A and B are shown apart, each in its own frame.
Chain A
């Protein structure tokens, strides 16, 4: 190639040069030319690295520019910052964000600079930026999240948790916040300074493209998300993964780690064991009262399993259990139906495991298993535990393959055992077989919803699966087995702690309330029926009883007011309306009925103002309009006469139809839902359906809901629900199906369920279901699966259940 040289024909008369003259003078053109010409490189000079961000001015002088232009420049500098951030040049990003901020300070630029500072581990600068962002916009979610991250790193867990809770109050489903919070809370609860996950970082990495464009938030997030899942944006992010892994391992070690407290053992409650030991029971072979019982039970298999189960859950939850006994060091303590030599092997294994000698423990368990097969015993429970324990050793040794094998064997022996399932899930996860891991974790959660590790893992894996399989990841999952109720743990073995007692008391209170509710509903239904038949006096009695049970029920007051009106007891009607309005100051019906009562009482002025109130709320109530016209005339007459208006005629109250008409006017109030639903029994559109369903749900009237569902074609259900589906609705529908419809028409229930899961947002809603809502669901499927039908088989139900649970 030819050489062209810059010809330094610089004109010194130039009035404004872009650079310093002296710099030019220092430069020896000839020498440079010679160098290039000869192409001599004596000693390799170091590479030139163009990363001189300290040379970037962090301030831009824009004092002379119009506002419009400033905005443009501020935005452009922010863009430059974002680009540098994406290229992981965080120092440069900080410089450009600073330039942007020097032009116009914005929340977005502060937030982004905070994130860049976090990545540079400049915690104090990051903190300052978060604070400034929050000064500009109190409660800004990203600023809070980032401040929480900073607090977390600075060891200020309490403040981090406060910030995260604030975020979660606004956005309860923010995954990052949830995850960070659980991490922070764990650190908070760890009183001991044993922090093996110290180096762990979870960084919120998205860079805002433009903050004034609110819907850009998600896209901004996507922009910074790596296109290939295998290549995370930040180096920190990738380092977070192994840390999390390590954390998973730790969870097992921790005595508080739920659901996995080391191998099964009659004495594996370490707290308890040690405490006992110190308590002075010097006799190693002393058999305590409880273990004697166990020996006694030992002959009956059932009993022994039960006690093992008891220990298991006791130790798993880390609550001190008074009941389990044998000494930590009592190696000859009997284990279930195992003969003494095998028991000894197993106990030795447990001890070794606890001491961290996993390979030795593995040996013992293997011997025990061998011994078991040799003796030809028939005690699957014990073999299951042996396999499960050996699996734990494999897991500790990182031998996931064998761990899975042992867990699978254990599960063949004892389906739905918690620990083998959990261990297998962990093993699958470590092998990155996420689908299988997911299924196992889900199964674990069906057995015991309180296994936090499983919750965490499910969340984590869900993300991975979405990355791996896209939005349809659920469809690629293997079936999740439905756990029978009998296998679900309800912690009944635990001695009632104060919380449990409290919970029970609450449950009892709830039950009582429920019963009262049922009674109340029945009374109300009766009342409504009487009204329909025109038996106002009888209805009145029922409503009065209702109010004795629940004096805060607005709808009853308005209903009773109607009865009073019909019976021309206007004063009482007015009182009831007043009571209703006290409870619901905008109740339209109450206003309308009080208007009628006032009319009856000849207080036309009050009547007119009530009617106006009704019309203001809903101008479409023709009855009110008609009444208003009439009353206005009456009012004028009475004013004209300047004397109490003469009752020219008794005012006829034709309210039965009116009332229905009013109810038919779509409104959200739930009173008269009986009639409401009977009117809307044939909902023809999503709106009607939603109204009826809402009304039923507000008063928790499952019967009405069932009625509604009975009259709805199953194939229309998803369409009617449209996008209105939420967790409470699902659970309410489940309840209604279960308690009312299942007996009458199981086929319809099946069909409804078969269509419900195709509704919009179903999968999302399903994920967000709460524990007791899930419970309803499980219950319904349990019941459905025992129904004999020609329309569907047990298998169908099972398959369907898998879509729900």
Chain B
């Protein structure tokens, strides 16, 4: 019944574009609002946090705070919907949690890493994931740490290389598998192409693989379900979708990969309202919208009679070029389907509208 006329495809519409006077690294919607936060680095070497509100087709600056260190990344994943505190990681390895109403002093702060915090994620807040709120940080110092914002100074868990091994730069971290109050997994991607899946319940490395090129971004299709799919993007313009339902003892998880963007795929973000649709952001300033199609059977028996997963397929729904510079961050609005904010190295932030997502 799907009519494939051109207009029935989703369209990506650049709704608002705002030029900024600093380098923006991350942009995030404030849940249950029409506001978003931009995090970045002033030319003078300080950090900046700006709040914008979308009003009458314009992004209006509501608040701006300057911080001593450039801010690399942020998340609302571990806060309650009432509080909506943002957790950020900065160039100096600090993890801070801010009350955006009073952003002068952090409500929580910890020297999390020796070097820059490249990536941050949260779970257990916003009604996503049962159990305690937790924040995960990944850093250039090679460690991945889990934090409970109610516990000062020391991490809940620390995943680091054993003594004597070279430390790899951790570029990206993501929570997943948080479908009850006991299970929880963390996935981390490294500059050498390693992807590691840590099981927080068993405190074990559950799975690892290498995709040959630096892993820029990993994300589960949904955090608070039995892990279903994982997307990992890479430096040389490829991304991989792993089916996380069937883990073969030796072959691990099966995946399907797709080449896109002809340059680094910086980000992947799944649509909060439909886990099988996701958007990737690329090094040449373009966005690709994808849909994952499940195979008829998601697992089969291999030659030895063991279960092995079957990968599905990926179809491109739409793509658009917004800039000549890379788009480094992307965030779907959790409330309004199709609304999306992205920022790039051209020092601008854009609000996008993706249409017809309910019919794909």
Contact = CB atoms under 8 A, between A and B. Distances in A.
A15 B153 CA distance: 13
B246 A8 contact: no
Interface in A5-27: 5-11, 13-20, 23-24, 27
B165 A4 contact: yes
B202 A27 contact: yes
Nearest to A216: B358
Given A45-B249, A50-B244, A88-B294, A5 B306 contact: no
A209 B358 contact: yes
B269 to A, nearest CB: 16
A36 B205 CA distance: 8
Contacts of B299: 47, 49
Given A17-B156, A47-B249, A52-B226, A2 B168 contact: yes
B307 A227 contact: no
Nearest to A88: B294
Interface string A262-295: 0000000000000000000000000000000000
Interface stretch (B51-59, B102-110, B111-119, B123-131): B123-131
Contact of A2 (B2, B161, B225, B306): B161
B223 to A, nearest CB: 11
Contacts of A46: 249, 306-307
Given A19-B201, A69-B81, A5 B192 contact: no
B296 interface: yes
Interface string A31-64: 0110010000100111111111101110000000
B294 A87 contact: yes
A92 interface: yes
A47 B205 contact: no
Contacts of B208: 1, 3
Contacts of A179: none
Nearest to A29: B203
Interface string B258-278: 000000000000000111100
Interface residues of B, number: 80
A11 B180 contact: no
A223 interface: yes
B156 A69 contact: no
B162 A3 contact: yes
Nearest to A56: B179
A569 B225 CA distance: 85
Given A50-B244, A55-B183, A219-B359, A87 B157 contact: no
Given A15-B150, A23-B182, A470-B3, A1 B192 contact: yes
A225 B359 CA distance: 10
B33 interface: no
Contacts of B183: 55
Contacts of B273: 79
B192 to A, nearest CB: 7
B226 A2 contact: no
A16 B165 contact: no
B222 interface: yes
B166 interface: yes
A20 B307 contact: no
Contact of A222 (B155, B165, B204, B359): B359
A33 B159 CA distance: 13
Nearest to A69: B81
Given A4-B160, A83-B275, A225-B2, A55 B180 contact: yes
A14 B2 contact: no
Nearest to B273: A79
A464 to B, nearest CB: 12
B247 interface: yes
B154 A11 contact: yes
Contacts of B202: 23, 27, 32
B308 interface: yes
Given A6-B159, A73-B127, A223-B359, A18 B134 contact: yes
A49 B210 contact: no
Contacts of A467: 1
Contact of B156 (A14, A45, A76): A14
Interface string B271-299: 00111100000000000000001101011
A41 B249 contact: yes
The CB with the most chain B CB atoms within 10 A, among A1, A18, A79, A92, is that of A18
Interface in B164-203: 165-166, 168, 177, 179-184, 192-194, 196, 198, 200-203
A9 B145 CA distance: 10
Contacts of A5: 159-162, 205
A503 interface: no
Interface string A217-254: 00111110111000100000000000000000000000
A208 to B, nearest CB: 11
B113 to A, nearest CB: 14
Nearest to A83: B275
A132 interface: no
A72 interface: yes
A755 interface: no
Contact of A4 (B3, B142, B276, B294): B142
B19 interface: no
A80 interface: yes
Given A18-B134, A73-B127, A27 B203 contact: yes
A56 B224 CA distance: 10
B226 A92 contact: yes
B321 interface: no
A86 interface: yes
B203 A11 contact: no
B248 interface: yes
A36 B162 CA distance: 12
A72 B306 contact: no
B21 interface: no
A641 interface: no
Given A5-B205, A15-B150, A222-B359, A80 B225 contact: yes
A355 interface: no
Contacts of B184: 18-19
A57 B246 contact: no
A11 to B, nearest CB: 5
Interface in B120-160: 124, 127-128, 130-132, 134, 142, 148, 150-151, 154-160
A83 B222 contact: yes
Interface of A: 1-11, 13-20, 23-24, 27, 29, 32-33, 36, 41, 44-53, 55-57, 65, 69, 72-73, 76, 79-80, 83-84, 86-88, 92, 209, 216, 219-223, 225-227, 231, 466-467, 470-471
9 contacts: A1-B194, A3-B208, A9-B158, A18-B184, A19-B181, A48-B247, A50-B227, A92-B226, A222-B2
Q: Which 6 pairs, one residue from A and one from B, show the smallest C-beta to C-beta distance?
A: A47-B307, A48-B247, A4-B161, A18-B131, A18-B132, A225-B1
Given A3-B161, A44-B249, 10 more contacts: A1-B192, A36-B205, A41-B250, A49-B245, A55-B183, A57-B180, A76-B127, A84-B225, A88-B294, A222-B1
Interface of B: 1-4, 32, 81, 124, 127-128, 130-132, 134, 142, 148, 150-151, 154-162, 165-166, 168, 177, 179-184, 192-194, 196, 198, 200-205, 208, 210, 222, 224-228, 244-250, 273-276, 293-294, 296, 298-299, 304, 306-308, 315, 335, 358-360
